[in-house]
Amino acid sequence: MVVAKNRGLGRGLNALLGDKPTPEVLSQATQIAISKIRPNSYQPRTCFPADELSMLTESIRKEGVLMPILLRPSGDGYELIAGERRWRASQAAGLLEIPAVVRDVSDLQALELAIIENEQRDDLSAIESAAAYHRMIDEFGCTQQQVAEKIGVSRVQVSNLIRLLQLSAKIKSMIERRALSMGQARPLVGLPEKVAEQLADQCVAEGLSARQMEEAARKAARPATNKPPKDVDADVLALQEELTRKLGLSVELSCKSGGGGELRIRYTQPAELDGVLRKLRG
């Protein structure tokens, strides 16, 4: 869950993402026809559990919508920015109108606000957060540091989450279902797919902790590093492991008898290459 921080959104926008309406927010709200509202194209949340929506629908039937949703103008209607659960539940409750505050925000702000709203409520899985952060980088040209500052988390957390996108579809699905936590899944990044999936299954079956998964991942990776060809120097291996740790990517260093050699850095997406280039240029 994201701790409330000064994200540079301004007092008004921060207030609109809270759980309780302030007099300032209520004074800005107006009734908007639900039929004129379309979903947020930048919504990072992909799953809305039916039981949660059912409970909220019953609450809205009894008490109405207490906290206005946030919209921005779009064509002859509006696009939802924050409050999709309230909007969906209001439709289910049969409401024709919903209280809303309309603000003219950019596409990047729309994504930023949607992420913050969901993370404040712990509604996003690690994979949903990672995909949203990666979208800010890939589509809007943000750096990892800028993402961290806008969302109110550490740059290390942004980096660790984005690295989860390297995992196989099976493991990412396990994270999305919250069968695996970020701490349990993070050690699997960089392992061969089959090995990583076997460890993920073992983690769920045996209830391994994040620390136990780190140790299991180290053991699984050991044969690849501790049983090298006989002509590989121990200093070369140490340097290879050091580069892997510092870059956060798989690094292979091979030396030839004449003094030359090759340095290979494997990456799976452009953002990882950008990170390496920034470190080399910096």
Q: Tell me which residues are annotated as active site.
A: 84
Beta strands in the chain (DSSP E): 30-33, 37-38, 69-74, 77-82, 97-102, 250-255, 261-266
Please say whether the beta carbons of 18 and 8 come within 8 A.
no
Starting at the edge strand found earlier in the chain, the sheet holding 77-82 runs: 30-33, 97-102, 69-74, 77-82, 37-38
Coil, strand or helix at 96: coil
Half-sphere exposure of 204 (CA within 13 A, CB side): 15
Please say whether the beta carbons of 118 and 42 come within 8 A.
no
Q: What whole-number distance in Å separates Cα of residue 275 and Cα of residue 278?
A: 5
Q: What whole-number distance in Å separates Cα of residue 268 and Cα of residue 282?
A: 22
